């Protein structure tokens, strides 16, 4: 699939008001039926900037790294997160780090950044490994009974356990499944904003979060978890701490935005490894040589470089955050085309990560494409699984650490093979999920 070459980008909106090409109304109906196919196809047919929705809000798809850099980095202050999906998230969760703007966002980012410093993240590795080992021990019974596992559900349960322990510093025990069900309902309703249960599910999650915050603050001890860091942090300009409402909003944001993305990334990684046994053998060999049977730790990740290549390639093919949205404040110009105020700018990472100008054999799973030698000269904005610029995902390093440690733990005991004959397609919901249960057999 060949994408047209893009023209260079001037930046003089008053010089012309040339508008991007637009698909027919018939093809726009495909946006609802199959968004991934729609975005990939219009980028292929019409180029790296396409007006795919003329009304009620004009919307452009941009699909070139230079355009992505312009919107997310160089001129990011002209592009807000005021899209309908972000506004719905804001309505449900509150004005947290994901959706806040301006000085409110800058203050939140300053206060939350220390919680994600590597010196705090590396204290969480034992908790991640313990949760992964508990999963492996439970799988022993499935293996003994020759029963497959639904890897999507298993990774969701595992990452929810990790997320709640990492955020709260407490083991919720059986309650973690209840929290997981509440989060799943809230996330699914975010895709159906008119659903009457949306606010109810968010309120249920809010009650759980508030209760845990109050318990932790009554008998506070810094457990190295993210909530401890947020309780302790003080604004460097005002010296103020976060109040309970601010803590609730940020914790809910981290749960909803962080748990499903890591679960999705791990699910697709196991799927890809099951289809590429050479890569699976390479990764298992690296794990065996680096760890020699002992549990992995944060410090071991430098000795597992192939795990990072595998995760990078999995995130290229199946980015959990499959689309990013912005809204223009004032007029601008991208790629020689006029951008009016209030224009929605969509970045479909799923399509961008398949741009054949920047990716050789884009549909092929090839972790080596991310090796240092093969990455030289590649435009870094051709790969944005966590966004880019000042609004880049704050939890990306934690998510990558968690995923790598989980891969290493599980591969010390099992290989996972997809049950033959299963047709699996990506489903673009709140995150990119498989369109069906992913049943996999366990092999020692």
Residue 6 in domain: no
Domain total in the chain? 1
Q: Give φ, ψ of 323 to 5 degrees.
A: -145, 145
Question: Distance (Å, rounded) from C-alpha 284 to C-alpha 274?
Answer: 12
User: Which residue range forms the structural domain that includes residue 152?
Assistant: 25-443
- Predicted confidence at residue 292, as pLDDT, reads 95
Residue 4 in domain: no
Residue 179 in domain: yes
- Predicted confidence at residue 375, as pLDDT, reads 95
Residue 14 in domain: no
SS3 428: strand
Residue 57 in domain: yes
Model confidence over 156-176: pLDDT tens digits?
A: 989 988 988 888 877 777 677
- Predicted confidence at residue 15, as pLDDT, reads 47
- Predicted confidence at residue 26, as pLDDT, reads 58
Hunting for tokens 């659903």 — which residue is that?
A: 195
- Work out whether strand 344-348 and strand 59-62 pair parallel, antiparallel, or are unpaired: parallel
pTM: 0.91
The DSSP line for 352-417 is: HTT-TTTSSSTTS--GGGGSHHHHTT--GGG--BTB-GGGS-TTHHHHHHHHHHHHHHHHTT-EEE
- Predicted confidence at residue 266, as pLDDT, reads 98
Residue 2 in domain: no
- Predicted confidence at residue 2, as pLDDT, reads 44
CATH number where 102 lies: 1.10.630.10
Please count the helices (runs of H) and the strands (runs of E) in the chain: 18, 12
Question: Distance (Å, rounded) from C-alpha 187 to C-alpha 180?
Answer: 10
Hunting for tokens 């318990």 — which residue is that?
A: 215
- Predicted confidence at residue 192, as pLDDT, reads 67
Closest CA to 68 of 42, 49, 87: 49
Model confidence over 29-65: pLDDT tens digits?
A: 788 889 999 999 999 999 999 999 887 889 999 999 9
pLDDT lower than 50: segments of the chain: 1-10, 14-15
């Amino acid at each position: 699939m060949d994408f047209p070459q893009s023209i260079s980008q001037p930046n003089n909106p008053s010089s012309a008001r040339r508008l991007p090409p637009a698909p027919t109304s018939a093809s726009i109906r495909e946006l609802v039926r199959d968004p991934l196919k729609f975005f990939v196809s219009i980028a292929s047919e019409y180029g790296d900037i396409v007006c795919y929705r003329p009304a009620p809000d004009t919307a452009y798809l941009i699909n070139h790294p230079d355009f992505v850099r312009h919107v997310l980095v160089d001129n990011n202050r002209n592009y807000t997160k005021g899209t309908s999906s972000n506004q719905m998230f804001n309505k449900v969760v509150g004005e947290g780090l994901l959706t806040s703007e301006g000085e409110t966002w800058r203050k939140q980012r300053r206060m939350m950044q220390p919680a994600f410093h590597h010196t705090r993240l590396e204290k969480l590795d034992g908790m991640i490994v313990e949760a992964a080992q508990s999963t492996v021990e439970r799988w022993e019974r499935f293996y003994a009974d020759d029963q497959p596992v639904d890897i999507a559900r298993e990774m969701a349960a595992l990452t929810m356990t990790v997320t709640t322990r990492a955020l709260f510093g407490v083991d919720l025990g059986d309650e973690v499944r209840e929290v997981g069900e509440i989060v799943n309902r809230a996330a699914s309703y975010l895709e159906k904003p008119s659903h009457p249960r949306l606010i109810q599910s968010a309120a249920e999650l809010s009650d759980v979060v508030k209760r845990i915050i109050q318990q932790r603050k009554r008998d506070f001890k810094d457990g190295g978890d993210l909530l401890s860091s947020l309780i302790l942090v003080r604004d460097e300009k005002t010296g103020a701490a976060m109040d309970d409402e601010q803590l609730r909003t940020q914790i809910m944001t981290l749960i909803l935005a962080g748990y499903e993305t890591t679960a999705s990334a791990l699910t697709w990684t196991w799927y890809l490894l099951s289809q590429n046994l050479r890569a699976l053998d390479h990764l298992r060999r690296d794990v065996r040589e680096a760890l020699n049977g002992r549990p992995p730790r944060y410090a071991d990740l430098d000795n597992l470089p192939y795990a990072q290549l595998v995760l990078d390639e999995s995130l290229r093919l199946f980015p959990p955050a499959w689309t990013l949205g912005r809204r223009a404040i004032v007029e601008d110009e991208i790629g020689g085309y006029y951008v009016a105020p209030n224009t929605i700018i969509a970045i479909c990472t799923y399509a961008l990560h398949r741009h054949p100008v920047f990716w050789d054999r884009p549909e092929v799973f090839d972790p080596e494409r991310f090796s240092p030698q093969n990455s030289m000269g590649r435009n870094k904005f051709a790969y944005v699984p966590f966004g880019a610029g000042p609004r880049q995902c704050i939890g990306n390093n934690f998510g990558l650490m968690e995923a790598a440690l989980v891969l290493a733990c599980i591969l010390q005991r099992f290989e996972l093979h997809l049950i033959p004959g299963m047709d699996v397609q990506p489903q673009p919901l709140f995150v990119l999920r498989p369109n069906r249960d992913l049943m996999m057999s366990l092999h020692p």
